[in-house]
Structure 1
Amino acid sequence: MNKKFWYQPDIATSIICWSFTLMILLLSILLWLEITVFQIWTVIVFLIFCVVSLIQFFLRWIEISDEKLIVHTIISQNTKKLELSDIENVRVGKYGISITVKKQKYHFIMRKSNCEILYNLIAFK
């Protein structure tokens, strides 16, 4: 049983990451407004924004198997592999899920339906 759930990191990290991503969009808009004729630079910067946004959406996921919870991040070296037997506490909040493993807390922003499914898969192991 391998299930995959898309997530965003905790609120502070998400605000920082998306602020830098939106700076790329603002640079694209700035180039567009400064250079009144159509320029390839505006398109290139906007395409960079689109690629970075897609990377942030689709390279973050939580995978749950029979004995492990694997948290994939954008930088693959930071991938966390958590044993399900080491999980001490799981809480579903209004905007996501909190998991405590060996006194370390992890917060993930997810859709409510995915939070409940993940909670049921973790809590009843």
Structure 2
Amino acid sequence: MATDDKPVCFETDPGFCPDCGSILPLLGDRGGVTCYACERAWGPEVFGDMAMTYTIEFNNENTYEWSKHKDDAEEEADGPIVERKCPQCGNEQMSYATLQLRSADEGQTVFFTCTKCKFKETENS
């Protein structure tokens, strides 16, 4: 198992150094690894039959179908909708978004957008 022909100290799970028990780094370009703790070199067999797999899932064309059936106000909203009267047109619903623009010990800034006329206002909370 070891590339330097020294005996191993103990049995470990795949991905751990059989000499010192530390977590091994991922396999290098040449298929081997060197333990960061004890600096002993190991071949790919130290990982056993461990395998890394990646799954990438893509949305299909019907993923956002539900959004086509909402009210016009909600469909065009810039964020979550709250009951807040627009000072410009009197509409009772506004969407909002928050950002931390000031220092960490101060409150956040809330940006409101009217769902009807798109009037924007801010509030420091």
Q: TM-score, normalised by structure 2?
A: 0.25
Greater fraction of residues in strand: 1
Higher RCO structure, 1 or 2 (CA under 8 Å, sep 6+) = 1
Bigger proportion of residues as helix: 1
